[in-house]
């Protein structure tokens, strides 16, 4: 097993494990493998339909629950007053207890933003989650969320990989004292095809995925890669055990463009940049 050192950013372990689109035994087995290899930060969501499988994998791992950092997200369909708290109760039941971090999965309409944040805060007060955060929030929305929650949100989970320029959003998160988590950190494999990343990987004797993840980690961003394969999970963890030079970091940063999004639902059109 690779040796690696985990740090925490705003209390969040700086390497997570993604579970979308895994369900049933595939989700259970992947999470068990990730735990076996030493990962303790696990990312799920109501939308993924796998909270029961993730909860089962954690409970049956033999590792104490308090060693984990478990994240789930409230589905957009549950964001309203009538369903928010009921949906969180169901998540907690399926996951086997309160979570460490509860996120709003996608920003609601502007007029619904503050009520949704108030419901999120209430879940923390009720003890259903230790920490709260958001996902897919733009810089403007993040500032609003920070203000409305009196600075208690600790995280924005967003698409973040070498093919997408997110430097402004990262600067905003840093300014507000929040952690960014990187979903699709490998751009679902597309980042591994970059000639720049392949060249750096070859020169360093690393896998392209390790280089892409290292570029994320070295900016203080928390990747949550998903893999069903033990050798890929182990190799991804190796990103914690080497460093990229400033020149290599800059070369990878130059690849990204603002239009490099993979996840871009039509109803978010026009909302990313403001
Ligand atoms: N908040 C949100 O709105 C949101 C949106 C999307 C995703 N997410 C979260 O972010 C997680 C990660 O994103 P993602 O799963 O979409 O994309 P990803 O982690 O960028 O890519 C996953 C793909 O990369 C492959 N892979 C993993 N490690 C590899 C390696 N070392 N070498 C080659 N291929 C490798 C996996 O295949 P193998 O199984 O074959 O290894 C899988 O097909 C999700 O699972 C989910 O938890 C959140």
CA of 176 to the centre of ligand 1 (A): 27
For residue 7, pLDDT over 90 is answered with yes
CA of 22 to the centre of ligand 1 (A): 10
Q: Report domain 11-186+221-227's class.
A: alpha beta
Q: Mean pLDDT for the chain? A: 96
For ligand 1, atom 27, which residue shows the shortest CA distance? 227
For ligand 1, atom 8, which residue shows the shortest CA distance? 183
The Cα–Cα gap between 167 and 172 comes to 9
Residue range 183-198: mean pLDDT, rounded: 98
Residue 180: per-residue pLDDT? 98
Residue 273: per-residue pLDDT? 81
Q: Of 72, 76, 60, which Cα lies nearest the Cα of 98?
A: 72
Q: Which two tokens stand for residue 144?
A: 């609003």
In this prediction the pTM is 0.97
For residue 3, pLDDT over 80 is answered with no
Model confidence band, residue 263 (pLDDT cutoffs 50, 70, 90): very high
For residue 2, pLDDT over 70 is answered with no
Residue range 208-216: mean pLDDT, rounded: 98
Question: β-pairing, 8-9 with 12-13?
Answer: antiparallel
183 a catalytic residue: no
Please tell me if the CB atom of residue 14 comes closer than 6 angstroms to any atom of ligand 1.
no
> Are 39 and 16 a contacting pair, CB within 8 Å?
yes
- Domain residue extents for the chain: 11-186+221-227
């Amino acid at each position: 097993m690779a040796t690696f050192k985990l740090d925490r950013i705003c209390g969040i372990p700086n390497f997570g494990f993604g579970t979308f689109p895994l369900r049933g035994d595939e989700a259970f087995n992947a999470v068990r493998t990730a735990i076996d290899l030493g990962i303790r930060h696990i990312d799920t969501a109501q939308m993924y339909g796998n909270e029961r499988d993730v909860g089962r994998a954690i409970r049956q791992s033999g590792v104490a629950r308090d060693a984990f950092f478990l994240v789930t997200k409230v589905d957009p369909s549950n964001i309203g007053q009538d369903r928010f708290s009921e949906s969180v109760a169901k998540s907690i039941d399926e996951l086997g207890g309160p979570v460490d971090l509860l996120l709003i999965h996608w920003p609601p309409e502007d007029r619904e933003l503050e009520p949704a944040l108030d419901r999120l805060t209430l879940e923390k007060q009720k003890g259903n989650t230790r920490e709260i955060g958001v996902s897919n929030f733009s810089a403007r929305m993040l500032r609003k969320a920070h203000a409305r929650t009196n600075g208690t949100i600790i995280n924005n989970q967003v698409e973040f990989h070498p093919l997408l320029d997110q430097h402004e959003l990262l600067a905003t998160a840093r300014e507000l004292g929040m952690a960014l988590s990187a979903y699709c950190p490998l751009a679902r494999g597309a980042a591994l095809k970059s000639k720049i990343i392949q060249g750096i990987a070859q020169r360093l004797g690393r896998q392209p995925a390790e280089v892409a993840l290292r570029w994320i980690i070295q900016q203080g961003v928390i990747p949550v890669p998903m893999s069903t394969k033990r050798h890929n999970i182990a190799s991804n963890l190796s990103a914690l055990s080497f460093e990229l030079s400033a020149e290599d970091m800059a070369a990878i940063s130059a690849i990204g463009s603002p239009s490099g999004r993979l996840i871009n639902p039509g109803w978010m059109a026009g909302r990313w940049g403001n």
